[in-house]
């Protein structure tokens, strides 16, 4: 099976909240669903939010635009939800990346996506509650509203991964098959090689297994990860209890960051 297998730190889930005394030369990399926004029954249920937009705008000001959103969602979806308020975005787990200067870097879709799109779409049509999502470079089948289908969905996705060479990315109540290539960690590394992120200390905030690559990349570059949501084995060094606490912490950063050189 071709699958994303992040390495996790199995021994520690008892993590403290992240610090507030961050240096100005910090770069923030933020996941969306489960981190900046609550997990909803359907992806389309997440939309623009005034408080989130305000906090992100203040963070971009405090950290001199060194703020990026790195998410499994597509680029148009992220621009809609974020109200166009974030320039630097890693979409579809980093397969599509827009730099702070607006240049978009992406890949060609894997030919195996045609079969995966057809088969997962047929499964969604046959079972009420399953939700098919097409992101052009990946396809996903959500089973949050049909949890009894979890085993069947994952088994079908595993077989498709083996047959096509697509990467199987398991997430929170979703199985996704994506074009091989970048992940959230490599997206972080790419951003850190470009202005205005060069030389900054990275912090990655996320909730899902897909974010472990981001946590590891931040650690390798001298920064750290912040796990949002229920405690679990993780590469992150700190923990917050979901999007509410994440926004509270980010909001407090906008009030304190400017006084730390």
Residues 167 and 56 in one domain: no
Final residue in a domain of this structure, among 178, 206, 224:
178
Catalytic residue among 14, 31, 45, 213: 31
136 and 248 fall within a common domain? no
Task: Kindly state whether residues 157 and 246 are assigned to the same domain.
Answer: no
Structural domain count, the chain: 2
Cα distance between residue 29 and residue 119, in whole Å: 34
The verdict on residue 89 lying in a domain is: yes
Q: What percent of the chain has a predicted confidence (pLDDT) above 70?
A: 93
Strand, coil or helix: 25 = coil
Of 125, 154, 178, which closes a domain?
178
Q: Looking at the structure, do residues 86 and 199 belong to the same domain, yes or no?
A: yes
Is 10 a member of any domain? no
Res 62 pLDDT > 90 = yes
**Pick from 38, 30, 21: which is nearest to 55 by CA?**
30
Q: Could you tell me if 200 and 98 lie in one domain?
A: yes
Share of the chain above pLDDT 90, in %: 83
pLDDT value at residue 218 = 98
Cβ atoms of 130 and 143 within 8 Å: the answer is yes
Residues 32 and 103 placed together within one structural domain of the fold: yes
Residue 202: CATH number of its domain: 3.40.50.1000
Q: Is the pLDDT of residue 261 over 90?
A: no
Q: What is the pLDDT of residues 5-40, one digit of tens each?
A: 444 444 446 799 999 999 879 999 999 999 999 999
Q: How far is CA 109 from CA 72, 91, 102, 178, in A?
A: 15, 14, 21, 9
Q: Are 169 and 153 in contact (CB under 8 A)?
A: no
DSSP 206-242: E-SGGGHHHHHHHHHTT-EEEEESS--S-S-SEEESS
Considering the domain architecture, whether residues 194 and 235 belong to the same structural domain is answered as yes
What does the DSSP 8-state code read for residue 149? Answer: G
Residues 61, 156 share a domain: no
Give yes or no: residues 197 and 252 share one domain: yes
Instruction: Note if 45 is an active site residue.
Output: no
The domain that holds 156 is classified in CATH as: 3.30.70.1020
User: Does 163 share its domain with 37?
Assistant: no
Domain boundaries, position 39: 26-107+182-259
Which residues lie closer than 8 Å to 79 by C-beta, 6 or more apart? 89
């Amino acid at each position: 099976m071709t699958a994303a297998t992040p390495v996790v730190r199995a021994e520690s889930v008892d993590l403290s909240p992240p610090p507030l005394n961050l240096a100005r030369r910090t770069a923030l990399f933020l996941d969306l669903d489960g981190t900046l926004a609550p997990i909803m029954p359907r992806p389309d249920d997440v939309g623009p939010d005034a408080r989130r937009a305000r906090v992100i705008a203040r963070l971009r000001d405090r950290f001199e635009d060194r703020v990026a959103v790195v998410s499994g969602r597509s680029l148009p979806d992220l621009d809609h939800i974020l109200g166009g308020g974030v320039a630097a975005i890693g979409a579809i787990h980093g397969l599509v990346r827009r730099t702070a200067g607006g240049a978009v870097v992406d890949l060609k879709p894997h030919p195996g996506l045609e079969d995966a799109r057809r088969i997962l779409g047929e499964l969604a049509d046959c079972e009420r509650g399953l939700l098919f999502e097409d992101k052009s470079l990946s396809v996903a089948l959500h089973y949050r509203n049909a949890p009894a289908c979890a085993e069947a969905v994952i088994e079908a996705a595993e077989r498709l991964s083996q047959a096509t060479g697509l990467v199987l990315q398991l997430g929170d109540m979703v199985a996704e098959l994506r074009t091989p290539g970048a992940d959230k960690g490599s997206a972080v590394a790419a951003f850190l090689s470009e202005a205005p992120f060069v030389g900054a200390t990275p912090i990655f905030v996320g909730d899902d297994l897909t974010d472990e690559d981001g946590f590891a990349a931040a650690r390798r570059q001298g920064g750290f990860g912040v796990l949002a949501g229920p405690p679990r084995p993780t590469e992150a060094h700190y923990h917050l209890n979901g999007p509410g606490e994440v926004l509270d912490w980010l909001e407090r950063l906008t009030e304190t960051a400017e006084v730390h050189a």
